[in-house]
A and B are shown apart, each in its own frame.
Chain A
C-alpha cells in the first residue's frame, strides 16, 4: 500500500499541515511549528480547519 496524503493536526498548538502517511512505514510525527509530538492524523475527508 502506497503512502497517501493526509491532514495532520497538532493537538498542542492547533497547527494543521499536509503530510504523507503509510500504515506500513510509520514515521515519527512532530509539529513543524511547536515541535510537539501530539500530532493527530485526521480521518480522510475531514477538511482542515481554516
Chain B
C-alpha cells in the first residue's frame, strides 16, 4: 500500500466512492466522489495532538470494537495517506462552546470543518474491480452463543486479540475477565458449507488454514495452551499447507472431527461447555474451554450489487462477481475492458489474490499498451429506416452497449460496436426488426429451420442451443458417448436470448411437433443477463400459443451447462417420448394457425415501422 501511495504513476484515491461509470473499453468515464476528510492530508503530519485532546470516544472498528478511538483518528496504522480523518458523525463540531479542540491544537491548521465532498471525473481505458469481501456474522448460529457469551469470539476478533498492534498490545486475554485462556476451541465452517438455510453453501476457502495458523501462533507464544479444532474436513490444499497442518498436529493441537451442537456457559467461571459428536469415534463428548473461536466464513460485499450495476457485471448464485470464463478468462469480466481480482470474484487467500491481481494488471496492460482492441465479429446493427424509436433494445442490452433512441429528434439507437458482445437479445426483442445481427442473421436461422423441416417435419425436434453452454453440453454428451435420439436437430445461436419469437413460429408453421430452447443456467450466462430475456420471451410465447389453441407443452425450455452432457442426453430422450405424443391433427392445426400468425406478425411489424417520408406526404 505504501509503495502504491508513493508510486509516481499511481493516483491513489482513498476514502472515495465510484459514483458513475459510462463508456466502453478504452473510453470509460468515471465519476468519483472524494469524501470530505475535514483534514488536509497534504498538510497533516500525523502528530496526534488533535486526537489527544478530542473528548469523543467511539468503538474502534479496526480493533473489532475491543478498544475505542477518537472522532479524529487514523483508521489503521498502515493507512495511506498517513493522515488523520475527522468522523463528522461523531464529532461535536467546531462550535467553541461544544468543542473545536482539535482545531485549536493543530499547528499546521489543516482541519477544515467546512470541507465538502468533491466529484472528480476521470477518463480511463480499463477498470480492475478488486473490492474485496465481508465476513459472515455468526450471530444466527445461536447454539454457539456468539454475543450471548463474552468468551465466544470470531476469528477476526481473535486476530486483533493476539496481534501485537491489537487492543491489548499483544497480551492475549479473554474478554470476560482479562485472564489468559489456556484451553481454546476453534469451530470451523461457521457460515460456510451450510445446507440448513443459515450461512452459505460454499466453502470459504481460507478459514481452515487461518485456524491452523492461529493454533501454531498459540503454540509458539503460549506453549501451555491447549487448542482443539472442531471440523468437518480440513482443506489444506495449497503449497506447504499440508506441512503446516501436520506441524500443528505435532505441536499437540487436537483435531476433533465433528461440529458442536451446543455451547453453554458456566456462569461462575465464564468457561464454555461444548457438546460435540466425535464422528471418528462415534461418541458424544463434552469439552470445557476457556475461550471459543468461531471460524467465520467469507461473504460477498454488501455493495456488490452496486458494483455490478456500475460495471455491468453479473454474479454467481453465491453473490460473488462472475468471471468471463472460469478456465480461459479467469480475471476478465464479461464486459470488455473490465477485470476482476481478489475476493470480489470468490473467497481466496492472499497468495491467490496477489496472483489474480498480477494477472489482471497484465491483462489490462495488454489492452492499454496496444491502444486498440479487436471488436467482436458478431455484433448488432441498426437499420434506421425501420426503427420506431421504442428503445427496448437499450433496455435489453446487458452491456449498456446501445445508446437509447431519441423519439422526438427521430434519432435511432446507436450501437457501440466496441461494447457489443453479440448476444442478439436486442435483435430478438426488436418489434420492427430494425436491429439485425452480423452473422447468425434471421435469414440464416430461418433457412436452417426450413431446411431441417423440409423432410418428415413431424419426426424432428427443433432445438435452439446457445453456443457457450447448451451446444457445448451437446458436444459433451457426444464425446461422452451418451446415447440420445437422432431425430433432434440443433440450431446454434450465440445466446438463447437470440431466439426470436418468429423462429419458434416458423418451426411450428413448418410442421415441427416440438421446439426446445436451451441456454445457460442464469449463473453461467456468458452475456451477463441476456438469458433473463429468454425466460420472459418464453412466457409471452407460451401465452400466445395457448391463445392460438396450441398446447404450450410443445415448446420446452431447459438450462443446460457445458458440463451437463448427461442432462442434455436425458432431455433429448425425454422429449423424444413427448414428440411421439403429439398427434398429426395437432401438427396440422399449428401449421395452419402459425402460418396465419406469421403473416399477422409481419403486418404488425410493417405497421409499427415509421412511414417513409414520401408515403407521409401522399
Q: A22-50: which have CB < 8 Å to B?
A: 23, 26-29, 36-41, 43
Interchain CB contact under 8 A, B558 and A36: yes
Known contacts A11-B542, A11-B553, A28-B522; is A37 also within 8 Å of B558 by CB? yes
Residue on A nearest B556 in the bound complex, by CB = A38
The reply to whether B558 and A28 contact each other, CB–CB distance below 8 Å, is no
**Which residue of chain B has its CB nearest to the CB of A30?**
B559
Interface presence of B574 (CB below 8 A): yes
Q: Identify whether the interface residues of B are mostly helix, strand, loop, or mixed.
A: helix
Please pick, from B523, B542, B559, B574, the residue contacting A40 in the complex, using a CB distance under 8 A. B542
Interface of chain B residues 543 through 579 with chain A (CB within 8 A)? 543, 552-553, 555-559, 574, 578
Count of A interface residues, CB-CB < 8 Å: 14
B525-543 near A? 1/0 per residue, CB < 8 Å: 0000100100110110011
The closest CB in chain A to the CB of B575 belongs to A12
Interface size on B, residues (CB 8 A): 20
Q: Is the CB of A37 within 8 A of B539?
A: no
- Interface residues in B489-541 (C-beta closer than 8 Å to A): 521-523, 529, 532, 535-536, 538-539
Name the contact of B574 in the complex, choosing from A12, A28, A39 (C-beta under 8 A): A12
Give A24's nearest chain B residue, CB to CB: B532
Smallest CB–CB gap between A1 and chain B, Å? 14
Cβ contact within 8 Å between B539 and A40: yes
Q: Which A residues are CB-close (under 8 A) to B535?
A: 26, 28-29
Complexed CA–CA distance, A38 and B555 (Å)? 8
- In the complex, the chain B residue whose C-beta lies closest to that of A34 is B574
Residue in B529, B542, B559 with the greatest tally of chain A CB atoms within 10 Å: B542
Min CB distance, A35 to chain B, in Å?
Answer: 9
Which residues in B have their C-beta under 8 angstroms from that of A26?
Answer: 522, 529, 532, 535-536
Q: How far is the CB of A28 from chain B (nearest CB, A)?
A: 4
Give which listed residue, A12, A27, A28, contacts B556 with CB less than 8 A.
Answer: A12
Q: How far is the CB of A15 from chain B (nearest CB, A)?
A: 13
With most chain B CB atoms within 10 A of its CB, the pick from A26, A39, A43 is A26
Contacts of B522 in A (CB 8 A): 26-28
A44 to chain B, nearest CB (A): 11
A26 to B530, CA, bound (A): 11
Known: A12-B574, A26-B532, A26-B536. A37 touches B552 (CB 8 A): no
Interface readout for B219-239 with A: 1 if CB under 8 Å, 0 if not? 000000000000000000000
Q: Which residues of B contact A40 (CB under 8 A)?
A: 538-539, 542, 552
Q: Mark A6-18, 1 if CB is under 8 A from B, else 0.
A: 0000011000000
B609 to chain A, nearest CB (A): 27
Tell me the bound Cα distance from A11 to B542 in angstroms.
Answer: 10
Cβ-closest chain A residue relative to B517? A38
For B578, the chain A residues whose CB sits under 8 A away are 12
Q: Interface on B for A, CB 8 Å cutoff?
A: 521-523, 529, 532, 535-536, 538-539, 542-543, 552-553, 555-559, 574, 578
Identify 19 residue pairs between A and B in the complex whose beta-carbon atoms are under 8 Å apart, listed by A's number.
Answer: A11-B552, A11-B556, A12-B553, A12-B574, A12-B578, A26-B529, A26-B532, A26-B535, A27-B522, A28-B521, A28-B559, A36-B556, A36-B558, A37-B557, A37-B558, A38-B555, A38-B558, A39-B557, A40-B538
